[in-house]
Amino acid sequence: MGCKPARRWAARWPQGLDFLLKAAHHAKAQTILQFFLEVVESSGTTHEQQLHFGLGLRPKHFAPLMGSGIFTQDGKSWKHSRALLRPQFASNRYQNFEEIKKCVESLLSNVPADGIIDLQPLFFRLTFDTTTFLLFGETLSSLQSREIAGQESEFGKAFNLGQDYLSHRGRLGDFYWLANTPEFRRACKISHRFVDHAIQRALDAADAPQHEKSVDDQKKQYVFINALLQETRDKKELRDQCLNVLLAGRDTTACCLSWTLKLLARHPRVLDKLRKEIEYVVGLGEDAPQPTREQLKMMRYLDLVLKEVLRLYPSVPVNSRAALKTTTLPLGGGPDGQSPILIRKGEAVGYCVYAMHRRKDIYGEDALDFRPERWEDGQLLRDVGYGYLPFNAGPRVCLGQDFALLEAGYTTARLVQRFPFLSVPAGEPPVRISEEKQILTLVVAPGDGCRVQMRSSN
Ligand code: HEM
């Protein structure tokens, strides 16, 4: 097919170990995506890294924490998991929105009027609650008040640490087993214990005699765990499936919200425009009504803001696939990058959506500017095609996309409604886009949180 080799990223040490060391150094300095941008700058947008080990090892890398679930499965078992999860988004639209509203009100009650606050932990708490609602039909808070008070933050910390290890394991490729410390094993154990507990409750409820079931239990609502219980009683299988969805739903949306509020505080022109839109559609201030779903849909600029946030900070910035059979990539081979590239069965293709979303040849000279208007007439979206990929595409496209955009949109609208003049806290140094500290696990989070001065008046 006329394939030609891609440009090489020149490793100086055997097995590409110098790349690994550099990656580890940048990960520690919270600048790893900056490093990837430099690699793309020097080696081209498509290039080959001779690391002598595959990237297609996700199941093995993830196994100790995540086991086997929608993120780690392929083929038949993946298809099955996807079919089990899909009705959650299709049939519970009303309950899902009501739950998001409830959880956002609880978040707002923890934001001090006109004070400075790091919103990031609150966002993680919010998305944890909404995702556990999807999974178990009830939020963590309702579990907490009954039985497992105090465990959330322990779980949250353990789950974050566990994911940190998963990303180290990913970078180590075939040497993933080196990242297996007692600390990692403890993080897995705590994460598992927490989810096991929630599953046990669901098992007990499912096995309770009909007359003992509460009205809540009997409501005809599609709950993922109950659908799973129809299929299996294997506790590890149940745990793995739930943890996989928790990962998909919690961190991605929390990071999107953190970047959104960080960017809004740093771009008063954009905030001003958004504030005016929200004021026009539903009103501002403490006494203004909560936006309805229809009103949210009317907020066109809010939609553009989120699109632009997910361009600059796609929650899943780096991803990979391994070829199931020998195939080709259409471009990237030869000195001019215009020939196809051969990918043999088992070889891996890594792709950095973060770098792609910042390409000047796709987005123009102002690619690094936060400018929601670029999406205004829909032309750019049509032009860039797969050049814009925050939710992936194809058969494994994000299942929670609509849910996530609803949650992120509603939360942003409520925060701006309540604190229309939010800003960067006094004394915080200005940081340019790309140069801020970032923590890359499977998602990319701001390295220094999301500290914002919440102002209700100018
Ligand atoms: C802004 C928020 C979100 C972003 C940017 C996002 C992005 C993504 C991306 C890029 C993938 C593909 C991963 C891969 O195949 O390697 C994915 C998959 C997935 N997402 Fe999301 N996601 C978000 C929120 C959510 C939410 C709230 C849920 C709901 C629980 C969710 C559920 C899933 C599931 C189940 C998959 C796996 C699909 C499959 O493999 O078939 N996502 N997401």
Ligand 1, closest atom to CA 310?
5
Residues with CB under 6 A from ligand 1: 70-71, 82, 85, 131, 134, 245, 248-249, 252-253, 256, 310, 315-316, 319, 390-392, 396, 398-400, 403-404, 408
For the chain, what percent of residues have pLDDT higher than 90? 55
Cα(275) to ligand 1 centroid in Å equals: 29
Q: At what angle do helices 224-231 and 182-207 cross, to 10 degrees?
A: 80
Identify the pLDDT of residue 140. 65
Best residue among 252, 310, 357, 403 to mutate for probing ligand 1's pocket (most ligand atoms within 8 Å of CB) is: 252
pLDDT digit string, tens, across residues 346-396: 888 889 999 999 999 999 999 999 999 999 999 999 999 999 999 999 989
Cα(381) to ligand 1 centroid in Å equals: 20
A 10 A CB-CB count for 44 gives: 16
Ligand 1, closest atom to CA 395?
41
Would the pLDDT of 211 be above 80? no
Ligand 1, closest atom to CA 134?
30
Cα(182) to ligand 1 centroid in Å equals: 30
Whether 125 is covered by a domain: the verdict is yes
Ligand 1, closest atom to CA 319?
16
In DSSP terms, 327 is beta-bridged to 343
Residue with tokens 């086997």: 68
Q: Specify the residue with its C-alpha closest to ligand 1, atom 23.
A: 252
Q: Specify the residue with its C-alpha closest to ligand 1, atom 42.
A: 400
List the structure tokens of 80. Answer: 């099955």
pLDDT digit string, tens, across residues 61-79: 888 998 888 888 888 988 9
pLDDT digit string, tens, across residues 146-179: 445 455 578 888 998 999 898 888 777 777 888 8
Ligand 1, closest atom to CA 131?
30
pLDDT digit string, tens, across residues 168-208: 887 777 778 888 899 999 999 999 999 999 899 888 888 87
List the structure tokens of 159. Answer: 């789950």
pLDDT digit string, tens, across residues 298-311: 999 999 999 999 99
Q: Are 224 and 411 in contact (CB under 8 A)?
A: no
Q: 314, 165, 259, 315: which is closest to 449 by C-alpha? A: 259
Whether 448 is covered by a domain: the verdict is yes
Residue 194, CA atoms < 13 Å, CB-side half-sphere: 25
Give the Cα separation of 410 and 405 in Å (integer): 8
Give the Cα separation of 443 and 313 in Å (integer): 9
Q: Are 3 and 42 in contact (CB under 8 A)?
A: no
Cα(361) to ligand 1 centroid in Å equals: 27
Terminal alpha carbon distance of the chain: 63
Cα(130) to ligand 1 centroid in Å equals: 14
Residue with tokens 């946030």: 309
Q: Specify the residue with its C-alpha closest to ligand 1, atom 16.
A: 319
Kind and range of the H or E run holding 257: helix 235-266
46-55, 93-102, 216-225, 348-357: least confidently modelled range: 46-55
Q: What angle do CA 401, 432, 311 make, to 5 degrees?
A: 20
Q: Are 228 and 117 in contact (CB under 8 A)?
A: no
Whether 175 is covered by a domain: the verdict is yes
Give the Cα separation of 328 and 344 in Å (integer): 8
Q: 244, 264, 269, 245: which is closest to 408 by C-alpha? A: 264
Whether 338 is covered by a domain: the verdict is no
Beta strands 339-343 and 348-352, pairing class: unpaired
Cα(247) to ligand 1 centroid in Å equals: 9
Cα(399) to ligand 1 centroid in Å equals: 6
Q: What is the mean pLDDT of the chain?
A: 88
Whether 21 is covered by a domain: the verdict is no
Ligand 1, closest atom to CA 408?
1
Best residue among 72, 124, 398 to mutate for probing ligand 1's pocket (most ligand atoms within 8 Å of CB) is: 398
Whether 147 is covered by a domain: the verdict is yes
Backbone torsions φ then ψ of 432, nearest 5 degrees: -75, 150
Cα(88) to ligand 1 centroid in Å equals: 14
- Domain around 131: 52-314+357-454
Cα(392) to ligand 1 centroid in Å equals: 8
Whether 80 is covered by a domain: the verdict is yes
In DSSP terms, 47 is beta-bridged to 7
Q: Specify the residue with its C-alpha closest to ligand 1, atom 27.
A: 249
Q: Specify the residue with its C-alpha closest to ligand 1, atom 3.
A: 252
For residue 14, give the DSSP letter: G
The CATH number linked to 201 is 1.10.630.10
Residue 266, CA atoms < 13 Å, CB-side half-sphere: 19
Would the pLDDT of 216 be above 60? no
Binding-site residues for heme, please? 398
Ligand 1, closest atom to CA 321?
16
Q: Specify the residue with its C-alpha closest to ligand 1, atom 6.
A: 391
Q: Specify the residue with its C-alpha closest to ligand 1, atom 21.
A: 398
Binding-site residues, please? 398
Cα(251) to ligand 1 centroid in Å equals: 10
- State how many domains the chain has: 1
For the chain, what percent of residues have pLDDT higher than 70? 91
Residue with tokens 């929630």: 198
Whether 343 is covered by a domain: the verdict is no
For residue 145, give the DSSP letter: I
Q: 100, 125, 107, 103: which is closest to 419 by C-alpha? A: 107
Would the pLDDT of 81 be above 50? yes
